[in-house]
Amino acid sequence: MYDFKEIEKKWQNYWQEHESFKAINGGDKEKYYILVEFPYPSGAGLHVGHVRSYTALDAVSRMKRMKGLNVLFPMGWDAFGAPAEQYAIKNHIHPKEAVKENIKTFKAQIERLGISFDWSREFATTDPEYYKWTQWQFLQFYKHGMAYKAKKNINWCPKCKTGLSNEDAAGGVCERCGTKVVQKEKEQWLLRMSDYAEDLLTGLNDTKFADRVKLGQINWIGKSKGAEVKFAIKDSKESLTVYTTRPDTLYGATFMVVAPEHPIIKKLKDKITNMDEIREYQEFAKSKTEFERTELAKEKTGVRIAGIKAVNPINGEEIDIWTADYVMMNYGTGAIMAVPAHDGRDYEFAKKYGIAIIPVISGGDVNKEAYTGDGVYINSGILNGINNKEEAIHKMLDYLEEQKLGTPKVNYRLQDWIFSRQRFWGEPIPLVHCEKCGWVPVPDEDLPVKLPDVANYEPTDDGESPLANIKEWVNTTCPKCGGHARRETDTMPNWAGSSWYFLRYMDPHNDKEFVSKESLNYWGKVDWYNGGMEHTARHLLYARFWNQFLYNIGLVPNKEPIDVRVSHGMILGPNGEKMSKSKGNVINPDDIVNEVGADALRTYEMFIGDYEKDASWSTNGLKGCKKFLDRIWRLGEHLNENKGYTNEVLVHQTIKKVSNDLETMKYNTAVSALMILLNDYEKHDTVSKDDLRVLIALLNPIAPHITEEINEKYILGKPLCESSWPEYDENKTVNSTFELVIQVNGKVRGREVMSMTTTKEQMEAVAMENENVKKFLTGKKIVNVVVIPNKLVNIVVK
RNA sequence: GCCUGAGUGGCGAAAUUGGUAGACGCACAGGACUUAAAAUCCUGCGGGAGUCAUAUCCCGUGCCGGUUCAAGUCCGGCCUUAGGCACCA
């Protein structure tokens, strides 16, 4: 037997010493850029899920290299983020120390798997040499008017004195201390991502993302077509503009609703006669978190704004204005026209508060459920009698435009990107605020703005970043006038560093530019990007937005940075549930590598099932793959002196199958094809070196260590990683015979082995002569005979 | 509520896009080797009927219906389940 620990170590050292996987910028070879999402190096260490995607793309990388391509397959660390910060606060160390330790662990774990990353390009988003350029790019956004500061509500924990992300505030309580979260208004930096909504949508046409990935992006952008309609307010110069996708139902608008934060309330406070009640309601709405407002919205609440009335522009009806938190300030105009007869929410609200419900499309049961389908328009003035929704919408829009009451309008769900975090462990936003000059960018030569080297930082009382407490860091001089200035203390979100890291890999050690033009032109797009489904919406959108911006200001050559994007399924625990410490179903890849070796782990994870679907861990399945490798090892002891392939057709078929399967992520069937080949070899007492050579070459991308060792020991050739990929001859993938299937009325009644040169007539003749088939033909009338060449004959009888 | 997938043996899964359902692996059972066990090797393995054994036949890809010479695959309608989005006007 063999010692897999020794072998694996040996070849890992070999690859490292020979820089076997180093990508070169330039040269004659065709380039190919393969990317796996870089991990967040958490204290928990590597997950078997990482092993799955890294191995899968490693297999593609290794095959492409053997096919003669210049493959860029880099790895790095997405190391900013809250967990490192929490850990550091608790233990009074600088987060960079915790990150350093975690990276060390992660890297060692990955190296033990034998993934062919080009480690010479490694970096972490927390390296000042890297975040210097993240800051520099932020300043490009700023200088091009794409970054601005605005007041936004954030989730705020009064006990921890910190802002929380929506995820951290799930359920309306602080994840850490359980205190009820409140909404707090705070000035935040934002990037004008909504300006890019249409480009981000159409840009998808220039990508080859998997459909489910594209769909995720489309949904997130959330384009909707409708109109803005202006409602006058009675006895006032003010008016309310609403956004609606159904202007055709305007005659059915029996009231209006504005979001509790809507500015109209403040503007008309002198006219409003129940301001106390409204203020109370505003407070009530504010105390709810985003979560409660959406997820837990069981019953509608609201208050009528007394003292003012709106006028329905289409029929002059005076209608009440309400405020209710089912209308959001951040979508549309923050105000709606409510059509209770044809909208479920409006209906629910109208029912509760006894507001008139006027149907404008006939055919629906208004009493039971809101009806929004097609029907004939009624009670609708100019639209009466129309029975087509599109036509009605058009007619209404034309009328509104003519009367200057409304305009067509496209809306996007996509919002501007809130880019501020009140955190220590993130890239400082490189701006200073001077009393005289206002916001001033830190000059390029002073970048990076480094995080201070302190181990203690407490949150402030007022929701500022912990950096605000570090006076010697905050106080600085204005780059413009030299006077006193204060640094911006907000840091960037975790998504910042990961929005451009794939560009940096092209030229990771450049200290003059974020990436050189030559490197960008050489590597172009990421050819194949793999990541988790959980990142296909946000991370991918941020990265595309960032890149499109860089493209628009002439810094990168492609508008879309990624060509193909695929996502892997999760590896679940043996019980079919998501692995977690609390459930006690975590499989540690280190343990598996120790028990059966990296090759067996890799092979198993490729064999486990459809790559894009979730799969449950099975220790028995793992053993089966280990057994498979052991059998291949033993094959070396059964070599003969023959030349060529013992079973030529099967070998050529297998080369074809494995090559195609690795290109199309069908890793499980690639492994099974190799198992079939091995089973065939074992039927013969001995096999040739060529037989063994082709098997281990095809297996090498998946199980690189053992195959290299067998190659060295029995084949005596140069290492597989320096050899070329086996080639097949299409003509030799075809068998000389086939099994003819004979059906009667679609049911299999006989089989005959025949030569591939058999004609259709011969096939039919043989079918008719088959003894069992004859039994089903006697006494019946043959009405049709279908012959599929080299496959089957179906005799149709009556 | 809306949008995506997915449902195939005891289990993980295949099926070249309409043409032999269950490849490959696991588990299980029987056998060989062994004093014995482990490892290894051989055989069987969807359900049922039938036979000493073959042969052969019936049923079978979540459910109901349809198209077709032929349906796991296409069409219509359901059920279950996983994920994503969501008072988005």
Asked if A47 contacts A579 with a C-beta cutoff of 8 angstroms, the reply is: yes
For helices A589-596 and A619-635, the axis angle rounded to 10 degrees is: 30
Q: Which nucleotide is nearest to A604 (CA to C1')?
A: B25
**Nucleotide with the nearest C1' to A337 CA:** B89
Can you read off the two tokens belonging to residue A506?
């092209």
C1'-nearest nucleotide to the CA of A333: B89
Query: Considering just the CA atoms, what is the radius of gyration of chain A in Å?
Result: 34
User: Given the DSSP bridges, would you call strands A318-323 and A303-311 parallel, antiparallel or unpaired?
Assistant: antiparallel
CA distance A82 to A263: 35
Q: For residues A518 and A506, is the Cβ–Cβ distance under 8 A?
A: no
Cα–Cα distance, A705 to A11 (Å, whole number): 6
The C-alpha atoms of residue A763 and residue A791 are separated, in whole angstroms, by 9
Judge residue A622's burial from the number of C-beta atoms within 10 Å of its C-beta, 0-12 exposed, 13-18 middle, 19 or more buried: buried
Q: Which nucleotide is nearest to A331 (CA to C1')?
A: B88
* Two structure tokens written together for A666: 């069908």
- Across A578-617, b (16+ Cβ under 10 Å) vs e yields ebeeeeebbbebeebbeebbbbbbbbbbbbbbebeebbbb
Distance of C1' in B75 from CA in A277, Å: 58
Which residue is closest, via its CA, to the C1' of B19? A792
Cα(A68)–Cα(A594) distance, rounded to whole angstroms? 33
Beta-bridged to residue A432, according to DSSP, are A440, A487
Residue A605 CA, nucleotide B45 C1', distance (Å)? 26
DSSP single-letter state for residue A759? -
Residue labelled with tokens 């793999």: A530
Task: Using the C1' atom of nucleotide B40, identify the protein residue whose alpha carbon is closest.
Answer: A631
Q: Could you list the beta-strand ranges (E) of A435-501.
A: 438-441, 475-477, 484-487
According to DSSP, the β-strands at A406-412 and A417-418 are: unpaired
Distance in Å, residue A658 CA to nucleotide B55 C1': 39
C1' of B82 to CA of A265 (Å): 45
Tell me the three state secondary structure of residue A530. Answer: strand
- CA–CA separation, A315 vs A221, rounded Å? 35
Q: Give me the CA A747–C1' B59 separation in Å, rounded.
A: 13
Nucleotides of B under 7 A from a protein CB: 3-6, 11-15, 19-21, 23-27, 39-42, 55-58, 69-71, 82-89
Which nucleotide has the least CA–C1' distance to A739? B20
pLDDT attached to residue A515? 98
The integer distance in angstroms from the CA atom of A1 to the C1' atom of B37 is: 20
The residues, any chain, with a CB within 8 Å of residue A389's CB and separated by 6 or more, are A248, A374
End-to-end CA distance of chain A: 64
- Amino acid code (one letter) for A267: K
For residues A677 and A695, is the Cβ–Cβ distance under 8 A? Answer: yes
pLDDT of residue A716: 83
Give me the CA A749–C1' B18 separation in Å, rounded: 20
Q: Nearest nucleotide, C1' to the C-alpha of A791?
A: B19
Q: Is A13 helix (H, G, I), strand (E, B) or coil?
A: helix
What residues contact A724, with CB distance under 8 A and at least 6 apart? A66, A67, A68
Q: How many CA atoms lie within 13 A of A774 on its CB side?
A: 5
In angstroms, how far is B84 C1' from A295 CA?
15
In order of A163, A181, A343, A346, A701, the CA distances from A368 in angstroms are 43, 37, 12, 13, 61
Cα distance between residue A487 and residue A764, in whole Å: 87
Rounded CA-CA distance A103/A124 in Å is: 9
* Closest residue, by C-alpha, to the C1' of B86: A294
**A294: which nucleotide lies closest, measuring CA to C1'?**
B87
Distance, CA of A687 to C1' of B40, in Å: 19
Rounded CA–C1' distance between A501 and B88, in angstroms = 32
Structure tokens at A798: 């009556």
Could you tell me if A417 and A190 are in contact, meaning their C-beta atoms sit under 8 angstroms apart? yes
Which residues sit opposite A183 in a β-bridge?
Answer: A155
* β A147-157/A162-164 pair status: antiparallel
Q: Which residue is nearest to nucleotide B6 (CA to C1')?
A: A613
Max CA distance (Å), chain A: 108
CA distance A87 to A670: 43
Between the CA of A562 and the C1' of B67, what is the distance in angstroms? 42
With CA of A623 and C1' of each nucleotide, the nearest comes out as: B26
Residue A311's φ and ψ, nearest 5 degrees, are: -120, 125
Pairing between strand A182-191 and A223-233?
unpaired
Estimate in Å the CA A589 to C1' B33 gap, whole number. 36
Copy the structure tokens of residue A702: 């998946």
**Measured between alpha carbons, how far is A35 from A23 in angstroms, rounded to an integer?**
13
pLDDT of residue A289: 55
Residues contacting A350, CB < 8 A, separation 6+:
A254, A255, A338, A340, A356, A357
Mean pLDDT by 10 residues, chain A (798 residues): 92 97 95 95 90 96 97 96 82 89 95 97 97 98 95 74 62 64 81 94 91 87 92 93 93 94 93 94 76 58 94 94 91 93 89 92 52 75 87 92 92 90 92 95 96 80 83 94 94 93 98 97 96 86 96 97 92 86 87 96 95 91 95 92 93 96 94 96 92 97 97 92 95 90 92 90 92 88 92 92
As a rounded value in angstroms, the CA-to-C1' distance for A567 and B4 is 14
Spatial strand order of the sheet with A747-755 comes to A747-755, A737-744, A792-797, A782-788
Residue A335: nearest nucleotide (C-alpha to C1'): B89
Instruction: Tell me the nt nearest to A578, Cα to C1'.
Output: B82
pLDDT at A415: 87
Nucleotide nearest to A618 (CA to C1'): B12
Residue type, A624: G
Neighbouring C-beta atoms of residue A618, cutoff 10 Å: 13
Does residue A569 contact residue A613 with C-beta atoms inside 8 Å? Answer: yes
Say how far A373 CA is from B77 C1', in Å. Answer: 20
Question: What's the CA–C1' distance between A780 and B63, in Å?
Answer: 35
CA of A388 to C1' of B78 (A): 29
- pLDDT confidence of residue A88: 83
Between CA A284 and CA A179 the distance in angstroms is 17
Give the type of residue at A629. Answer: L
Task: Give the closest nucleotide to A292 (alpha carbon vs C1').
Answer: B87
Closest nucleotide to A211 by C1' from CA? B4
Beta-carbon count within 10 A of A627 CB: 12
Distance in Å, residue A89 CA to nucleotide B52 C1'? 81
Q: Which nucleotide's C1' is closest to A634 (Cα)?
A: B40
Q: Which of A785, A173, A71, A127 is nearest to A510 (CA)?
A: A127
Distance between CA atoms of A633 and A743, rounded to whole angstroms?
44
Residue A619 tokens, joined:
């220790």
For the CA of A1 and the C1' of B34, the distance in angstroms is 20
